[in-house]
């Protein structure tokens, strides 16, 4: 373990979603605790700055301090696929990405459906990063029998999920929702209707048909979301403490359905991934523009030398520019409470194959903040929206107490150079697998320091 930090961060752009304050401030840390935060223009101005989006203006400092980031959805592949990632490499990668707390999905081998595997999934050198295990909702993630949720929660599980697949049987899904409610945790569902998506390689649309890829229709997500909402509505009428979270939503229609259900007052939340807010299916043809740079109908469809990069194979698939815009809008209007990385590292053996045979997933925990900042620099997302989606939003879902940058609290923060740029590569990424389509692309936002509970987890 590293020593407790003592440091003075003078003249930083400080964003604190917990207190709802932003602006130029001096933050001093003594022996791992926040000793003082001095807002240059006072707290009233800092509150107004937060409400206005927490965006720095011309002439403001370009090095920012935020609370350490929290990821509600990552795969560290331990036990079972340590060649792709494990706790030691995953936490190193997370800290490099600015993350101090990471929730791990249970689709390990074997699945984390028992206390022993749940504990094995977070064992090892953690580089001061805190890991929160999510337990399998059903035994073996087979979808036929709900896990012993009470025992798993007692052992530290913060949620249950069969992520990687949906719980297809609706009666089992309902039973899992009830078991999670009884244990005081949320059920996190991967929304996919398998009868519509089996064998799907890319979003149903012009890119898939032009490239000859098998379609994964938007209805495959919408049908699952609608069905989940129907079951939730039914359960909540007798068990109001039930909580359902839909992870990595990717379509305009599904997000609209969630927003409408939230409007009814249902205890429903969702997240979107960095890749679904910033990349589109035309990347599979070789287009390399950010989603917000592409007008609908303006996608480049003629395959280039960059086409069929299997690092773009992901579930749910990348979609049209309009869907990516809907994902960003969901963050702005609060329909989605978090950006979840769905960090899904895969070894070269699983990715260096033809597109349709490649494993699904993008290693994204080291580039998530940079991708969000690319959207910020394009005027698409305010720093307030990004900071909340990466800290207080996921904390709310996972039941994590966050002190933000309050004086007296243990220091958990990330220092990021907003004006700096870097390029992901085997040399710069710290995770074991580098299956990302962003290799060698210039990205904004260089993490300088990540601190969790007073101890540096990453230092550039
Ligand atoms: Zn999933």
Q: Are residues 367 and 451 in the same domain?
A: no
CB 132 within 8 A of CB 118: no
**What CATH number is attached to the domain comprising 187?**
3.20.20.140
- The pLDDT value given to residue 75: 97
Burial 151-169 (b: 16+ CB within 10 A, else e): ebbebebbbbbbbbbbbbe
251 Cα: distance to centroid of ligand 1 (angstroms): 14
Same domain, 53 and 80: no
At 25, is the secondary structure helix, strand, or coil? strand
Residue-number span of the structural domain to which 21 is assigned: 7-65+408-420+442-459
Helix (H, G, I), strand (E, B) or coil at 82: coil
Residues by chain with Cβ below 5 Å of ion ligand 1: 163, 190
The reply to whether 435 falls in a domain is no
- For 420, other C-beta atoms within 10 Å of its C-beta total 16
Instruction: Give the strand pairing for 187-190 and 160-161.
Output: parallel
Taking the centre of ligand 1 as the mean of its atom positions, its distance from the CA of residue 315, in whole angstroms, is 7
Domains: count for the chain: 2
How close is the Cα of 197 to the center of ligand 1, in Å? Answer: 13
Report yes or no on 171 lying in a domain. yes
CA angle 449, 341, 244 (to 5 degrees): 125
224 CA → ligand 1 middle, Å: 13
Q: Which of 69, 173, 98 is nearest to 366 (CA)?
A: 98
**379 and 268 share one domain:** yes
Task: Let me know whether 416 and 389 are in one domain.
Answer: no
Q: Say if 87 falls within a structural domain.
A: yes
Q: Is the peptide bond preceding residue 79 cis, with omega within 30 degrees of 0?
A: yes
Taking a C-beta distance cutoff of 8 angstroms, is the pair 314, 197 a contact?
no
60 with 101, same domain: the answer is no
Residue 86's nearest CA partner among 60, 42, 120 is 120
- DSSP three-state, residue 139: helix
Burial readout 320-350 (b: 16 or more C-beta within 10 A, e: otherwise): bbebbbbbbbbbeeebbbbbbbbbbbbbeeb
- Same domain for 333 and 446: no
Does residue 342 carry a catalytic annotation? Answer: yes
38 and 175 inside one domain: no
**Per-position b or e across 49-59, b if 16+ CB within 10 A of its CB:** bbeeebbbeee
User: Do 113 and 174 belong together in one domain?
Assistant: yes
The tokens describing 63, both together, are 């090095």
Contact 383, 12 (CB under 8 A): no
Same domain, 390 and 412: no
Spatial separation of the C-alpha atoms in residues 22 and 305, rounded to whole Å: 44
Structure tokens of 249? 């939503």
Distance 84 CA to ligand 1 centre (A): 17
Phi, psi of 17 (to 5 degrees): -70, -20
- Both 314 and 374 in a single domain? yes
DSSP annotation of 407: T
Beta carbons of 137 and 147 less than 8 angstroms apart = yes
Q: How far is the CA of 72 from the centre of ligand 1 (A)?
A: 12
Residue 347 lies in a domain: yes
DSSP assignment of 368-386 equals HHHHHHHHHHTTSS-HHHH
| Residue tagged 């592409």 (tokens) | 294
Neighbours of 226 (CB within 10 A): 18
**Cβ contact 297:250 at 8 Å:** no
Q: Tell me the CA–centroid distance for residue 249 and ligand 1, in Å.
A: 9
Q: Report the separation in Å between the CA atom of 189 and the middle of ligand 1, taken as the mean of its atom positions.
A: 8
Distance 31 CA to ligand 1 centre (A): 40
Shortest CA distance to 74 belongs to which of 96, 94, 92, 89?
94
CA 48 remoteness from chain centre: 28
DSSP 3-state of 245: strand
3-state SS assignment for residue 217 = coil
Question: What angle is formed at CA 289 by the lines to CA 286 and CA 293, rounded to 5 degrees?
Answer: 145
Residue of 204, 67, 80 whose CA lies nearest to 141: 80
pLDDT for residue 228? 98
CA of 247 to the centre of ligand 1 (A): 7
Give 89 Cα–ligand 1 centroid separation in angstroms: 21
Is 108 inside any structural domain? Answer: yes
Give the chain's residues under pLDDT 70: none
In a domain, residue 136? The reply is yes
User: Is residue 437 in some structural domain?
Assistant: no
Q: What is the pLDDT of residues 265-324, one digit of tens each?
A: 999 999 999 999 999 999 999 999 999 999 988 888 888 989 999 999 999 999 999 999
pLDDT of residue 297: 83
Instruction: Provide the token pair at 446.
Output: 């260089």
**342 CA to centre of ligand 1 in angstroms:** 7
Interval between CA 191 and ligand 1 midpoint (Å): 8
Do 237 and 384 lie in a common domain?
Answer: yes
For residues 266 and 246, the answer to whether their CB atoms sit within 8 Å is no
Options 169, 306, 342, 417, the catalytic residue = 342
- For residues 55 and 50, what is the distance between their CA atoms, to the nearest angstrom? 8
Assign residue 41 the CATH number of its domain: 2.30.40.10
- Cα 163 to middle of ligand 1, angstroms: 5
CA gap 360, 251 in Å, rounded: 18
Q: 287 and 235 in one domain?
A: yes
Residue 117 forms part of a structural domain: yes
ipTM of predicted complex: 0.94
Query: How far is Cα 245 from Cα 335, in angstroms, rounded to an integer?
Result: 11
CA 410–ligand 1 middle distance (angstroms): 33
């Amino acid at each position: 373990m590293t020593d407790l930090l003592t440091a003075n961060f003078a003249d930083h752009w400080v964003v604190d979603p917990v207190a709802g304050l932003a602006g130029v401030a001096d933050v001093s840390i003594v022996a791992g605790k926040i000793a003082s935060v001095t807002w240059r223009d006072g707290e009233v101005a800092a509150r107004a700055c937060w409400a206005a989006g927490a965006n720095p203006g011309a002439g403001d400092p370009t090095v920012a301090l935020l609370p350490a980031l929290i990821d509600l959805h990552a795969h560290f592949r331990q036990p079972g696929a340590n060649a792709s990632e494990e706790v030691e490499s995953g936490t190193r990668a997370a800290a490099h990405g600015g993350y101090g707390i990471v929730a791990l999905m249970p689709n390990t081998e074997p699945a984390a459906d028992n206390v022993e595997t749940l504990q094995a999934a977070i064992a090892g050198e953690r580089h001061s990063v805190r890991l929160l295990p999510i337990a399998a909702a059903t035994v073996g993630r087979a979808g036929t029998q709900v896990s012993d949720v009470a025992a798993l929660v007692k052992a530290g599980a913060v949620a249950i999920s069969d992520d990687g697949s949906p719980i297809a049987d609706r009666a089992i899904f309902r039973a899992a929702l009830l078991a999670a409610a009884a244990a005081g945790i949320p059920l996190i569902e991967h929304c996919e209707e398998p009868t519509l998506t089996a064998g799907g390689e890319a979003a149903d649309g012009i890119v898939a048909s032009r490239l000859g890829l098998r379609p994964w229709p938007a209805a495959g997500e919408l049908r699952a979301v609608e069905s989940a909402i129907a079951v939730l509505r039914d359960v909540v009428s007798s068990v109001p403490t039930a909580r359902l979270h839909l992870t990595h939503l990717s379509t305009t229609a599904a997000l609209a359905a969630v927003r409408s259900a939230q409007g009814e007052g249902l205890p429903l939340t969702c997240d979107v991934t960095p890749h679904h807010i910033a990349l589109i299916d035309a990347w599979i043809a070789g287009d390399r523009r950010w989603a917000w740079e592409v007008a609908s109908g303006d996608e480049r469809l003629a395959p280039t030398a960059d086409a069929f990069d299997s690092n773009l194979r992901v579930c749910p698939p990348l979609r049209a520019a309009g869907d990516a815009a809907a994902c960003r809008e969901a963050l702005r209007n609060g329909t989605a409470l978090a950006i979840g990385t769905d960090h899904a590292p895969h070894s070269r053996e699983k990715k260096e194959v033809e597109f349709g045979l490649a494993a699904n997933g993008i290693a994204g925990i080291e580039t998530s903040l940079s991708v969000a900042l690319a959207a910020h620099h394009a005027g698409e997302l305010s720093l307030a929206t990004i900071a909340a989606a990466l800290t207080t939003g996921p904390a709310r879902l996972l039941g994590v107490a966050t002190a933000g940058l309050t004086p007296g609290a243990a220091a958990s923060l990330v220092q990021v150079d907003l004006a700096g740029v870097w390029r992901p590569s085997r040399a710069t990424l710290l995770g074991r697998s580098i299956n990302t389509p962003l290799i060698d692309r210039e990205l904004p936002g260089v993490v300088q320091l990540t601190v969790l509970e007073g101890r540096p987890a990453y230092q550039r």
